[in-house]
Chain A
Amino acid sequence: MESFNAVDAEDLKAFLIESHEMLAQFERDVLSLENGALNPDQLDRLYRSLHTIKGNCGFLPFAKLEAIAHAGETLLGTIRTTQRNITPDVATALLQLADAIQQVLQTIEATASEGNQDYSGLIATLTTLCKTDAIPQATITHHATPLDAADGQSGMPLDSTIDSTIRVQVDLLDYVMNLVGELVLARNRLLQLTATNQDAEIVVTGRQIDLITNELQDNVMKARMQPISTLWRNLPRLVRDLALDCGKEVALELEGSETELDRSLIAAIKDPLTHLIRNCIDHGIESPDRRMAIGKSAQGRLKLRAFQENSKVILEISDDGAGIDSTQIKARSQQMGLITAAQATSMTDREALELIFLPGFSTTTEVTRLSGRGVGMDVVRRNLESVQGTVEIDSQLGHGTTFRLKIPLTLAIIPALLVSSSNERFAIPQANVQELIRLEGEDQIQRSIETLLNVPVYRLRGQILPLVNLAAVLQLPPSTGPTDLLYFVVIAADDYRFGLIVDWIEDTQNMVVKPLSKQLRSLNMFAGATVLGDGAAALILDTSGLAKYAGVQRQSQQSFAPATELEPGLSDRQLILIMLGPQNVRMGILLTHATRLEILPSTVIERVGDQYLMQYRDRIVSLIDLQAVCTGMVSSPAEFAEFVSIVIITLDGDRTVGLIVHQILDIVEEAITVTGAATRPGVTCYATVQGHITEMLDLNAIVELTNPYRTARELLIGARR
């Protein structure tokens, strides 16, 4: 066991699966060679499989297995060179060899060691066979016995790798997936039918089918997915070797290795990824001396980060090396005649970086810091494009380079928001949806929507948000909905942020993303299609494609950068919930404390003793009237307005209370500027938020205040279900 600790369990599993597969093929080949004439291809394959097993053993501590495989390899090598036929003796020996390897593999699998079986006899036989054909039959049978006996002793391990995985054609999985899709639709119809049915048995059966279908769908999906860690497993070694070759020190960081993507895509991005890593180490990260000289740590940092965004998996490869000098790129491209001088001067740095993806771009002859950066970059891009992916580059001179690969999940379930416009339904990937806004009343709509340079805009918490009408962009007939209601979805995608006006917002569902047919690929505003619950097909919007088509301006690079640069913990900007408290005073609390905002009819408020309580989501929540806290005026339940705004607050993890406020105003993200000390209990400080004086509340103090006899805690605990 000890010999084995260093070996990665994943590696071992992969080794076992591969070896088992090769052995099965090995046996078939030996048998067919024995029956027919010598087939050089088959012989090569036999030789190769033993060679691979032997080679793999070199990385793993299996000397015995290596010796057996080596003996077999030598024999096959002799046969290959002498071109002699495989006699039954040789075939028997080879099959015994396969049995022996099989046995060792099973022992390894069961006990994680090679076991104590002695195979020297078999090795001797194989060695003798190399010299002559004439091997006494007895020798072979002699060795056959201990093998059989050993089989009997150890028994077949039941839980073996060979049984727990099988290879399945992706086509078959696709077909099963489609069948599951049909099943989901049939299920949906069945549920609609059972909804009106009185027969309890039918209803129960319907629900069972519902549950089973969901599980089936999830698992078939999973069957096609592999974590990206399967691709990353070999990277530490690759990085180490490359760093040694280049005389650099590199620390590899991997983040998001559990991100899953389709098996076929993992294979497709393997080469581009390796290429980019090589580039980062070779040309990005500077030598330790150079790094020390410019004040960086001697060890360079190479970071791989994978995460899912909409129907794409994003894979970022970033280094903290020298970065790419766009001026040099421009100069080089001009030299090579890829761009004209005029183009070079009018080009932005970002555009210049894109030049390295041009097919002709190469700096191999030029010995500069960026030499080689462009070599094969066009291949990287082409490889990604072949799977509908993209590669972007971002580089800061002196600070490093980031390559961002976007790989689609052709078969993924994404949560998406279903909206409708002109009676057509569209899905918007939930990851692009920031918030939903409803404006009521023609007055308010008129007032809120301004026109700036012919573009309708909405001021969302002080920021200008361009508005796009979905029906107009898609040239749908204008909607005939009510004019005193306006819904829009605030969308953020890539560098775009805009409000998308729709007629109606339905709900968020998990949707199976289906690729669009080739016939419709030119429509960049659609990312794919899906099948809705009622069986109709619906289009999934590609939000950045839509923004481009609608002519939404990109947000400037500068305003975007700080948001991504800042670590969440380091930012002093906080989300603050602004509300109107008693006497129309602006009050604020940190949004991290508020779990939900509710506007409820005042009939939900019940009075028990001196406490106000309400039933909320299966539990009893005690309510704190901010007015009573601040002014001491306790209202009776009848004195509350018809509807009350309640902020549900969670303190210390699981203490839930409701704060009755006059009005909930807004949520803002701002750094708090303290402008004065608190003047009354329950208030932390005065601060300026959005240019207005705002009292920042101390929620713990308020809870204490409402319960001078400290009964609150017991009451809260007692009230919890």
Chain B
Amino acid sequence: MGIFKKLVSWGQKKSPWIIHFNAGACNGCDIEFIDSLTPKYDIERIGILQHGSPRHADILICTGAVTLQTRDRLIQIYEQMASPKYVIAVGTCACTGGIFNGCYCVMGGIDTTIPVDVYLPGCAVRPEAVIDAIDKLLNSNDKDKTKKKAKSDKQKEVSEESNEEKSDEQ
């Protein structure tokens, strides 16, 4: 990873701006997402800001199965977002189409229309899950770190195993 890319991913981790789009949901997931902005869950306290314009946003939070009417609009919004951009599919409908799969004017999940980074199933998802999804997305940015962590975890496991073996021998 070049130093510029590193800088960008470091900067993004600090305060991602999110935009929300309802592609044909029942409102359940949307309300639960808005809930995560309000005092009880308050994702703004960890620097996550909801923003209106796609041009300013880093993460697209997308709910609902994609209907034929919203399809073009969803693509437009995705294209208007500046790179690097991420998409979280919130709710079972957004992941696979859910119970609306097979309806005559439903395309299916969000990934039939735009690429998705995080799938968050649930009907409806809970605000805690939304926070967790954003957290996981941000941490997955730091690939080096996760690799290192995986390595060190492996080493730990190995050393623990060897310790166990030793203790068995004893």
Q: Do A and B bind each other?
A: no
A contact residues vs B (CB 8 Å cutoff): none
